[in-house]
Amino acid sequence: MTTDKIAVVTGTNRGLGRSAAIALATRGVRVVVTHRGDAAGAEETAEQVRAVGGTAAVLRLDLSDVSSFESFTSELGAQLERWGASRLDVLVNNAGVGIFGPLETVTLDDFDTVMGTNVRGTFFLIQSLVPLLAQGGQVINVSSSATRHTRPTTSVYAASKAALEALSRNLAAELGPRGIRVNSIAPGPTATDFNGGAMRDDDGLRQALADQTVLGRVGEPEEIGDAIATMASEGLRWVTAQRIEVSGGALL
């Protein structure tokens, strides 16, 4: 059933972003697919959206380049007009980077890259797009279960996602009077190509993580995509300022 809603999903050329785009499309949401430079991957996502009966458009967006957000917003507005719309309903902030290593190996550039993309870029993208969000619209920020448990080498990445969760709660309070909801989805270990595809391809790591998970396995990208699409649905219209972990009970 068509909902006539429109969503922007960042980092949609692969992994969780692709799964979120497809899951939203199966629920009748039109999807703006974005990518930082992998145009072929983004077009593949768009084709998969269309294969499930959805509607997709592809735009380039580099979260590390805040100066480009003005032109992106203009391009997005033009795309909305082509669809006969003036408002955006859902913004899924999925794009992010992870650089991992022990304390003594983390460089200033590493730190700035992670924080600049995961926190700074996400914050200013929200700032840019809030004027387009419809009454009753929502922002869904993709965090990580790493904000709840600890693991060596993840300090900077986990800190960036913890900041994103704090941002979500505070923006929920600020934007609530406009009818805009803000929540975060925190995936656990998931079999994607993130971090070199370790959780997808390293059998030993997969088994170690499965042994620490209540449901006995790592997650699949489609399960995270379904959770994001569910959060975007009217069924959860009374939920805001929440962190929803989707991890199968990992590392309890």
Which pairing describes strands 133-142 and 30-35: parallel, antiparallel, or unpaired?
unpaired
Complete DSSP assignment for 152-192? TT-HHHHHHHHHHHHHHHHHHHHHGGGT-EEEEEEE-SB-S
- Pick the catalytic residue: 157, 171, 191, 192? 157
Longest Cα–Cα distance in the chain: 53
Residue listed under structure tokens 């430079």:
37
Distance CA 187, CA 226 (A): 12
Burial class (CB in 10 A: 0-12, 13-18, 19+), 232: buried
59 in helix, strand or coil? strand
Query: Could you tell me how far CA 184 lies from the centroid of its own chain?
Result: 9
According to DSSP, residue 249 is labeled S
Which residue carries 């991890």 as its tokens? 247
Distance, CA of 172 to CA of 241 (rounded, Å): 5
Query: Helix or strand or coil: residue 118?
Result: helix
Q: How far is CA 185 from CA 140, 146, 182, in A?
A: 7, 12, 10
71 is catalytic: no
**Which secondary structure element, helix H or strand E, spans residue 57, and what is its range?**
strand 56-60
Task: Cite the active site residues.
Answer: 157
